[in-house]
Amino acid sequence: MSSARSKVLTVIVVLASIALAIPHTSSFIILLMTRALAFSILVMSLDLLLGFTGLASLGQAAYLGIGAYLTAILAARYQIGMGYDFWIVVALGMIGGALLAAVFGLLALRATGVYFLMITLALGQCVWGLAYRWNSLTGGDNGINLQHRPKFGIDLANEVTFFYFVFALFGVSLAIMYTLVRSPFGRSLVGIRESELRMKVLGYNTWLHKYLAFIIAGAFGGLSGVLWAETAGIVSPENVVLTTSVDALLMAVLGGAGTLVGGVIGAGVVLLIREYLSTLVHWWQYVLGGVYVLVILYLPGGLMSIPQRLRQSRSLRKQSVNTDKLVSATH
């Protein structure tokens, strides 16, 4: 069994066991895990840029915002998305995210490195500004309430059903993105991350590759937004503030950039600390800060690199035992 296949298998087993275990926990845990899964689609979409293409974007919340506001506006104003037409909303959310990314990409991809970061940040803030100021459409800082979750054959108002629904969409997103990064297209993205110049010399249109990755990430960001809007039932400018983008970035790094599935671990850990631990203790912020600092200091590869780290340290130990033997043998 190749190591890649065993890794995939492990991920599937872990995810499946979580899916089976969650409904037997409390309703609050179910709600939190649903939120973590919905948000982790955004984190994975960012990982596509950060971990595979080498583009650190600080404006990913914009796509979540598009999806979320689209869902809320369609539901609250036009009653669209309350039944089977929810799938239209899902599609529109993804298209909206992709279109926005197509526009933003034209501007942002002219730059690299920290300048790319600054431009995406500025563009993300534009979306926030619109959400905050376009009162007649977005309700300003009061936001928009979604009265009910959609019902189509299954009733998403049921927390367990909704959890499985989000879980399914999360699984599909993960599978698509995983296939994508393993495809020749994905390989060339990694090539761009490692050395864009070399890829250019080899004859790749690197700009187009990055542009496509940016649009795909935008589409999944939109999907994440549609689901995120339904988890809390309220969409407000708070969803598109800079900290949401920063959260996504930190979660991606925390889980392990360039691993995709690390996104769900990052999102899970952060949301559990922020929304679960904060119900137990009031010093949860120190824990969150501590986790960030410790992971970045001691696990630069994120939480997903723990198994690899363990393996490394074991083989190191074996090596040192071997050298000890060697040393004693020569004496």
For residue 154, the 8-state DSSP code is E
Of the candidate residues 88, 110, 141, 325, the single one contacting another protein (CB under 8 A): 141
Please count the other Cβ atoms lying within 10 Å of the Cβ belonging to residue 292.
15
Nearest CB to another protein, comparing residues 99 and 306: 306
Nearest CB to another protein, comparing residues 107 and 160: 160
Nearest CB to another protein, comparing residues 151 and 274: 274
Task: Tell me: does residue 305 bind another protein (CB under 8 A).
Answer: no
Instruction: List CB contacts of 108: < 8 A, sequence separation 6 or more.
Output: 57, 59, 116, 119, 120, 123, 214
Nearest CB to another protein, comparing residues 113 and 307: 307
Nearest CB to another protein, comparing residues 279 and 330: 279
Residues from 27 through 56 that contact another protein (CB under 8 A):
27-29, 31-32, 35
Of the candidate residues 2, 4, 5, 147, the single one contacting another protein (CB under 8 A): 147
Strand segments (E) across 50-167: 144-145, 151-152, 154-155
Task: Tell me: does residue 77 bind another protein (CB under 8 A).
Answer: no
Instruction: Produce one character per residue of 109-135: b if its CB has 16 or more CB atoms within 10 Å, e if not.
Output: beeeeeebbebbbebbbebbebbbeee
C-alpha span between 158 and 161 (Å, rounded) = 5
Token pair 């914009």 is found at 62
For residue 203, the 8-state DSSP code is T
Of the candidate residues 24, 153, 203, 328, the single one contacting another protein (CB under 8 A): 24
- Interaction site with another protein (CB under 8 A): 6, 10, 13-14, 16-18, 20-22, 24-29, 31-32, 35, 132, 135, 140-143, 145, 147, 231-234, 236, 238-239, 274-276, 278-279, 282, 285, 307, 310-311, 314
